[in-house]
């Protein structure tokens, strides 16, 4: 499912950097990065050769693989979750750490700041009752321990935002992040085991060798902890989802963006699917996903296995972009027909890189019985 991200990734990567520089540094960036010689030098395609590529399935080894793979250009640690307080008040959150290698190599130096690994993190909380969406982001290079990962345990941090194992095993994992007026402090425990996406964790993006990522997920993490909004502290419980992915190759120019669905059903099964949208309006053939059954077994979904119909749209008052805001998903092979509805419409992140990533609820029919669920949807490339 996250393969879409993959593709996107490279496009995004360029866009990211450009936009992030622009946003961060308040100067206008009118031309796209590809047209800019200096930026091209940093992220030029020929530099791809200097990076490692995801060519064939690998043997994953944990906890080392929870740490950064600096030889690959891009990497992320992605947490999303739907939570409730004891009175049923609903919250959503996203905490994502991105790593970008500005260059494959870092020249030797006695300065710890000499480091080309750039981390970015996004943190959001959706307060459904107040219909409010909080966002914040951070940047840092890894030098001077300002950001980084561990290969001894699950640990990734950027400044004071972190995801870190409480002891030597991967779980329980503690997520901590604090924005200007909102914060989370959550303990995650794996209810279901890790799932290797794609082909034993190798998620191919196209036929070209190396245009792929290494990629695994924890589709259901029991979550407990607290969310702070303003001066209020809410004890919360619920389920989270974690994605890990690293790659080097870039997206094709034809892709415009993607819609990604990560849904957790009440019957303890999950669905992930990403639809890659092409600039010509067609769905890219690389769209794919998977169904994870209650017993953790995985069924791969191809583009033709899933039909998505947009039922409604929402225009962002911030960016004036129009996003789909209600979908009907049908997966005939699984006897699944569901509607996916955002908990609130405005879950657009207007940070360095603009996208929509929000908590959703799911209602529908599976095998003739009504079924409900929750999840997260990510929408990129909408204008």
Partner 1 sequence: MSTILNKSSLNFLLQHPWQLALAIVGIALGVAVVISIDLAMESSLTAFDQAGKAFSGTATHRIIASEGGLDEKLYTQLRVGQGIKKLSPVVSGYVQLAKQTNNSFKLIGIDPFIEKSFKPVWQQEQSKNQRAALLARLVVEPNTVLISDKTARSLHLKINDEFTIVSDSGKQDLKIIGFLQANNAISEQVLAKLIITDIATAQEVLGLFGRLSSIEVLMDNYEPETLTKILKLLPGSALFVSVDSQSQSMREMTRAFSINLKALGLLSLLVGMFLIYNTMTFLVMQRRRLIGCLRSIGITRRQIFKLIIGEAFLLAIIGTLIGIALGIALGQSLLYMVSETINAIYFRVDATSLIIRPAQIGKGVFLGIAATLVAVLPPAWEATRFPPATVLIRSGLESSTRQLVSGAKLTGFILIAGGLALALSSAQSVSWGLAGIFIIVFGFALLTPAFTLGLVQMTDKLFGRFLGIAGRLPVRTISSEISRTGIAVAALMIAVSATIGMELMIGSLRQTVTEWVQASLAADLYVTLPGEKIIGGRAIEEHQLKKRLADLPDVQMLSSALHTKLIANDEFTKVSVFELNPQSRKGFIFKDKVNDDLWDRFEQQQTVMVTEPYAYYHAIRIGQEILLQTDKGKQPFEVIAVYADYSGDQGHLSMSRQNYQRYWPDLGYSGIGVYARKHTDLKQLENQLYKLLTGQQSVKSDKDIYKASMEVFEQTFTVTETLRWLSAAVAFVGVLSTLMALQFERTRQLGILRAIGLTRRQLTFLVIGETGLMGLIAGLFAIPVGYVVAYVLIFVVYERSFGWTMAFHFDPMVVYQGLALAFIAAVLAGIFPALKMARIKPAEALRIE
Residue 217: burial class (beta carbons within 10 Å; 0-12, 13-18, 19+): buried
Residue 143 binds to partner 1 (criterion: CB under 8 A): yes
CA distances (Å), 152 to each of 155, 162, 169, 173, 276, in order?
8, 15, 9, 14, 35
CB of 147 to partner 1, least distance (A): 8
Three-class DSSP category at 36:
coil
Residue 142: burial class (beta carbons within 10 Å; 0-12, 13-18, 19+): buried
Residue 41 binds to partner 1 (criterion: CB under 8 A): yes
Cβ density class 169-187: b for 16+ within 10 Å, e for less: ebbbbbbbbebeebbbebb
Among 160, 167, 207, 280, binds partner 1 (CB under 8 A): 160
Residue 22 binds to partner 1 (criterion: CB under 8 A): yes
Residue written as token pair 């911030």: 318
Residue 265 binds to partner 1 (criterion: CB under 8 A): no
Residue 21 binds to partner 1 (criterion: CB under 8 A): yes
Residue 15: DSSP 8-state: H
Among 33, 67, 81, 373, binds partner 1 (CB under 8 A): 33
Among 86, 107, 317, 368, binds partner 1 (CB under 8 A): 107
Residue list 109-138, contact with partner 1 (CB under 8 A): 109-116, 118
Contact map string, positions 59 to 98, toward partner 1, x by CB under 8 A: ----------------------------------------
Among 44, 50, 131, 144, binds partner 1 (CB under 8 A): 144
- What contacts 24+ positions apart, CB below 8 Å, involve 304-307? 305/331, 305/332, 305/333, 306/273, 306/275, 306/330, 306/331, 307/331, 307/332
Based on its alpha-carbon atoms, the radius of gyration of the chain, rounded to whole angstroms, reads: 20
Contact map string, positions 300 to 319, toward partner 1, x by CB under 8 A: --------------------
List the structure tokens of 91.
């919250």
Residue list 167-226, contact with partner 1 (CB under 8 A): 178
User: Which is nearer to partner 1, 24 or 372 (by Cβ)?
Assistant: 24
CB of 54 to partner 1, least distance (A): 24
User: Which is nearer to partner 1, 139 or 376 (by Cβ)?
Assistant: 139
Three-class DSSP category at 355:
strand
- 73 backbone φψ class: left, alpha, beta (φ>0; ψ -120 to 50): alpha
Residue 248 binds to partner 1 (criterion: CB under 8 A): no
CB of 36 to partner 1, least distance (A): 6
Residue 102 binds to partner 1 (criterion: CB under 8 A): yes
Residue 371 binds to partner 1 (criterion: CB under 8 A): no
CB of 168 to partner 1, least distance (A): 22
Residue 192: DSSP 8-state: S
Nearest-angstrom CA–CA distance, 144 and 162: 16
Residue written as token pair 């009504």: 370
Name 354's bridge partners: 350
Among 96, 126, 135, 140, binds partner 1 (CB under 8 A): 140
List the structure tokens of 246.
């690293």
Q: Which residues bind partner 1 (CB under 8 A)?
A: 17-18, 21-31, 33, 36-39, 41-42, 102-103, 107, 109-116, 118, 139-141, 143-146, 157, 159-160, 178
């Amino acid at each position: 499912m996250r393969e879409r991200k993959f593709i996107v990734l490279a496009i995004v990567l360029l866009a990211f950097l450009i936009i992030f520089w622009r946003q961060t540094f308040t100067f206008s960036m009118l031309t796209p990065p590809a047209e800019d010689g200096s930026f091209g030098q940093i992220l030029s395609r020929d530099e791809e050769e200097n990076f490692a590529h995801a060519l064939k399935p690998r043997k994953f080894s944990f906890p080392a693989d929870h740490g950064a793979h600096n030889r690959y250009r891009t990497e992320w640690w992605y947490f999303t979750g739907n939570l409730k307080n004891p009175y049923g008040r609903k919250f959503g959150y996203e905490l994502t750490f991105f790593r970008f290698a500005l260059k494959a190599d870092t020249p030797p130096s006695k300065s710890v700041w000499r480091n080309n690994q750039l981390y970015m993190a996004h943190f959001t909380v959706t307060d459904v009752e107040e219909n409010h969406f909080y966002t914040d982001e951070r940047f840092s290079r890894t030098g001077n321990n300002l950001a980084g990962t561990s290969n001894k345990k699950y640990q990734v941090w950027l400044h004071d935002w972190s995801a870190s194992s409480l002891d030597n095993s991967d779980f329980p994992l503690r997520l901590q992040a604090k924005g200007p007026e909102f914060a989370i402090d959550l303990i995650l425990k794996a209810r279901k085991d890790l799932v290797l996406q794609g082909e034993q964790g190798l998620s191919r993006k196209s036929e070209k060798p190396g245009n792929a990522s290494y990629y695994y997920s924890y589709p259901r993490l029991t979550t407990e902890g607290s969310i702070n909004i303003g001066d209020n502290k809410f004890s919360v419980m619920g389920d989270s989802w974690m994605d890990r992915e690293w790659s080097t190759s870039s997206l094709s120019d034809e892709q415009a963006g993607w819609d990604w669905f990560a849904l957790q059903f009440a019957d303890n099964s999950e669905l992930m699917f990403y639809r890659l949208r092409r600039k010509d309006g067609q769905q890219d053939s690389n769209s794919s996903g998977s169904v994870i059954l209650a017993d953790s077994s995985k069924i791969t979904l191809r583009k033709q296995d899933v039909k998505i119909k947009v039922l409604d749209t929402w225009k962002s008052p911030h960016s004036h972009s129009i996003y789909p805001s209600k979908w009907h998903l049908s997966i005939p092979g699984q006897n699944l027909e569901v509607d996916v509805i955002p908990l609130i419409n405005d879950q657009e992140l207007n940070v360095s890189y603009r996208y929509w990533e929000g908590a959703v609820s799911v209602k529908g029919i599976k095998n003739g019985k009504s079924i409900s669920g929750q999840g997260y949807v990510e929408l990129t490339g909408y204008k």
